[in-house]
Structure 1
């Protein structure tokens, strides 16, 4: 669900692995409408709402406008951001990330995207089962990392297809995020789906977070809006590639 004309250009592809981590989770240290869990799209509209969003989630910008969503993911250097691969087909040139962005304000500043890593299968054929990417970001003159300032989600994998999650994204028609809580379901062998209303163009790359800390909004990210039909062909149902060894290996590779 990216409102972005995909540009031709080089994409950094990395594909090695050498970091040992515990199975199922990758970790190093460490005012939004939210709909409660419901059983169907029809039920979501009448669900209760409560404010809470992670400052680790933000908007991706190009040419002065946001077009996709992304979130900080825990890493040793604190400089990694997760999004959908279809959001960054043109590489890193001209892209910036604003964590916690709302109402035209970037409370943690603007972070320049300096590198993009996508799976080889996405680079070769835009495989929707591999629609995820890691971005390296930096901010000139700031000794702190984006993770130190905005927080971060832990990367989770092989968590199964049925999980309670909060999804968050930035519709391209507004300057504040929308969020929804519901339970994921399986959609094919390597895809997952969730019924949540109000996730149109611009929300692609938004994180699917489980085990959310109510104080911070951070948790374990197990998906991003993308995959089937680049996130879905209706704003009321979103999709994600299933996070398994493919994203684990890509994550490991960008750390080295």
Structure 2
């Protein structure tokens, strides 16, 4: 898990992302609205206090749903992106990756890890979720303010969602949202995680 920056660490972090397991060991998950400028976005796993202990990784490709591209549908506010190798090394070999878990129960308990834009260390919150709608999940957690978009929602150590969706993930720090990870999200994940050919 780490922070997303524009170009380098000097610009300040604006979203959160997490490495997920993949065949090429190079995929991260975040909110689709965090990747409006993928050509200049970099990922710093384990970022803390101005330091990137596992390096800074440049994005190479982004997988988002057509309904996100065409109309920014909040039900599709999830993205999977690949990152370039560093000196032939893949990111998952350096930091590991979370499995992806769809089809979670309505009240699944998750742990949310994210970087508010005002802090240089991540926050953590665990709580039961509930369905806000058939396509949106909500959680009550304090302090998940701007910058925590894209934060992984982990159920038993597996990615069950990312902070985003309805109202861009929420308009007050105490209540956050995630699009329900269903068939569309699973297809995006497979496109990113399994190389073509």
Q: 2:2 matched to which residue of 1?
A: 58
2:179 alignment partner, one of 233, 241, 256: 241
Give the structure with higher Rg (CA): 1
8 Å contact from structure 1 (residues 209, 220) kept in 2: yes
1:166-205 C-alpha deviation (Å, 9 max, x unpaired): 0011010111000101011011110000000001000000
Matched, 1:184 2:122: no
In the other structure, the counterpart of 1:228 is: 166
Deviation at 1:224, TM superposition (A): 0.5
For the residues of structure 2 that align with 1:185 and 1:202, how far apart are their CA atoms? 22
Residue 104 of structure 1 is aligned with which of 50, 59, 76?
50
- The structure with the greater share of residues assigned to strand is 2
Q: Which residue of 1 aligns with 2:39?
A: 93
1:79 is matched with which residue: 26, 42, 66? 26
Retained in 2: the 8 A contact 1:68–1:202?
A: yes
Task: Give the C-alpha shift of residue 83 in structure 1.
Answer: 0.2
The alignment's C-alpha RMSD in Å is 1.0
Residue aligning to 1:170: 115
SS at match of 2:39: coil
Structure 1 CA distance, aligned partners of 2:107 and 2:86? 41
TM-score by length of 2: 0.94
Q: Deviations along 1:83-124, whole A, 9 cap, x unmatched?
A: 00011123x211100011111111110000111110011001
- The CA deviation at 1:160 is 2.3
Q: Which runs of 4+ in 1 moved over 4 A?
A: none
Q: Which has the higher helix share?
A: 2
Q: Which of residues 67, 79, 86 in structure 1 aligns to 2:14?
A: 67
**Please, what TM-score do these two structures have when normalized by structure 1?**
0.73
Structure 2: give runs of 5+ residues left out of the alignment: none
CA distances 1:15-53 after superposition (whole Å, capped 9, x unpaired) = xxxxxxxxxxxxxxxxxxxxxxxxxxxxxxxxxxxxxxx
Question: 1:223 deviation in Å?
Answer: 0.7
Q: CA deviation at 1:139?
A: 3.7
Q: Report Cα offsets for 1:1-23 as digits up to 9, x if no partner.
A: xxxxxxxxxxxxxxxxxxxxxxx
Counterpart for residue 250 of structure 1: 188
